[in-house]
Amino acid sequence: MSIFFDLIHYSSHHDRASRRPSDGDHLPINTHRIAPPLHAQSEGHLPKLLIKKLLKLYDYPHPLNPQIIIPGYDKSHALRTASLCRMVAKDLEYPADRIRLFEITCLLHDLGRAGLDQPLFGKIWSWAKTHGIPTRPREWRTMYPHTPYGKETEAFLLRYGKDLERQNIPLDEWTTAQVEMRLGFARRLRKHLRGVKPHLRDMGISWVPWMEQIMLYYYYPEKLRHAPRWVRQLAETLVACEQLEAYNNRQRGRDYYTRSRESLKQAFHYLQQLQSEGIVSEPVLLAIQQLMTRQSFIKVLTDARGKPFTQQDFRYIQNLQKDFIPCQS
């Protein structure tokens, strides 16, 4: 694939806006294009020992027997997502100290799902997807606008509890927890963060509010409507990279996406859909598109698949470089 890696990249500086989002800048929810930060100093990976300690925070005591620890589900997904996010943030020229906190945030982005019971979680949400039932708070509120804000979990169980029981899914606290991991993600994340913040302090990590905002953005974009522009851009980066990894993640595809194979084309179609919805902006999508020509970026995605990209995948990436046209609002 040596010819492929000789593809000419878009100019990093001329395709971007000319000024850095300052800490006080704000971004309206429907604005797509924002400027990158100033040049960043060189930044490296987080220490392996720190990564190991952070990923251990996903382990969760079993509710019926606290002596049994439920290992965090698919920690590799969190690690790969953080790696992609680090590369995009570096390409967008964020400073090293902010990239470090951002990478930590991305490593912990699924903390609200600590305790995920894969067979039960997969059964609930595969059934919901098959029946066209919303699986995210913002989608639920669109379909059921009279649901009180923050009560989507309760509304789901009230409306579909009988159906779940017919699927031999018990309506107990453990099932409620699996539903909350999606429809009540904010509540569950905040509860779990309260427990892990002392551990983060012991690791020398100062947790700041924007880190939680970024973790909540995919499910609750409205919470960042008045956030500083750079916070919004990093949140968009997490969403885009997390979805790109998930669309290439063989384990997740098998466990609860009911997917027979992974497709780069489908992944980028979804990212472009997120852009059309105002969830991901043009600069973030352009940065990812450019990085798709780098071996280090591709390796993260092929690790998620457990096998190399196909010739069809590489042709798609080549066409993406030539034909990429960001959708406009």
User: What is the pLDDT averaged over residues 36-56?
Assistant: 70
How many Å is the Cα radius of gyration of the chain? Answer: 20
Q: Taking 70 as the threshold, does the pLDDT of residue 283 lie above it? A: yes
3-state secondary structure the chain: CCCHHHCCCCCCCCCCCCCCCCCCCECCCCCCCCCCCCCCCCCCCCCHHHHHHHHHCCCEECCCCCCCEECCCCHHHHHHHHHHHHHHHHHCCCCHHHHHHHHHHHHCCCHHHCCCCHHHHHHHHHHHHHCCCCCCHHHHHHHCCCCCCCCHHHHHHHHHHHHHHHCCCCCCHHHHHHHHHHHCHHHHHHHHHHHHHHHHHHCCCCCCHHHHHHHHCCCCHHHHCCCEHHHHHHHHHHHHHHHHHHHCCHHHHHHCCCCCCCCHHHHHHHHHHHHHCCCCCHHHHHHHHHHCCCHHHHHHHHHHHCCCCCHHHHHHHHHHHHHCCCCCC
Q: Lowest mean pLDDT: which of 141-150, 178-187, 258-267, 284-293?
A: 258-267
User: What is the pLDDT averaged over residues 113-119?
Assistant: 92
Q: Taking 90 as the threshold, does the pLDDT of residue 13 lie above it? A: no
Q: Taking 50 as the threshold, does the pLDDT of residue 274 lie above it? A: yes
Q: Lowest mean pLDDT: which of 44-48, 65-69, 256-260, 273-277?
A: 256-260
What is the C-alpha separation between 220 and 242, in angstroms, rounded?
15
Q: What's the pLDDT score for residue 116?
A: 92
What is the C-alpha separation between 230 and 97, in angstroms, rounded?
14
Number of Cβ within 10 Å of residue 311's Cβ equals 9
> pLDDT class for 44, splitting at 50, 70, 90?
low
Q: What's the pLDDT score for residue 33?
A: 32
Give me the residue label for tokens 């309506």: 171
Q: What's the pLDDT score for residue 322?
A: 77
Q: Taking 50 as the threshold, does the pLDDT of residue 310 lie above it? A: yes
Q: Taking 70 as the threshold, does the pLDDT of residue 290 lie above it? A: yes
Q: Taking 70 as the threshold, does the pLDDT of residue 34 lie above it? A: no
Half-sphere exposure for 31 (CA within 13 Å, toward CB) = 15
Give percent of the chain with pLDDT exceeding 90: 74
Tokens of 328: 């406009």
Phi and psi angles of residue 27, each rounded to the nearest 5 degrees, phi first: -120, 120
> pLDDT class for 150, splitting at 50, 70, 90?
very high
Tokens of 212: 């939680």
Q: Taking 80 as the threshold, does the pLDDT of residue 258 lie above it? A: no
Q: Taking 60 as the threshold, does the pLDDT of residue 196 lie above it? A: yes
57 CB burial (10 A radius; 0-12, 13-18, 19+): buried
User: What is the pLDDT averaged over residues 220-234?
Assistant: 96
Higher pLDDT, 121 or 16: 121
Q: Taking 90 as the threshold, does the pLDDT of residue 1 lie above it? A: no
User: What is the pLDDT averaged over residues 253-271?
Assistant: 83
Q: What's the pLDDT score for residue 26?
A: 36
Q: What's the pLDDT score for residue 252?
A: 79
* This prediction's pTM: 0.84
Mean pLDDT taken over the chain: 85
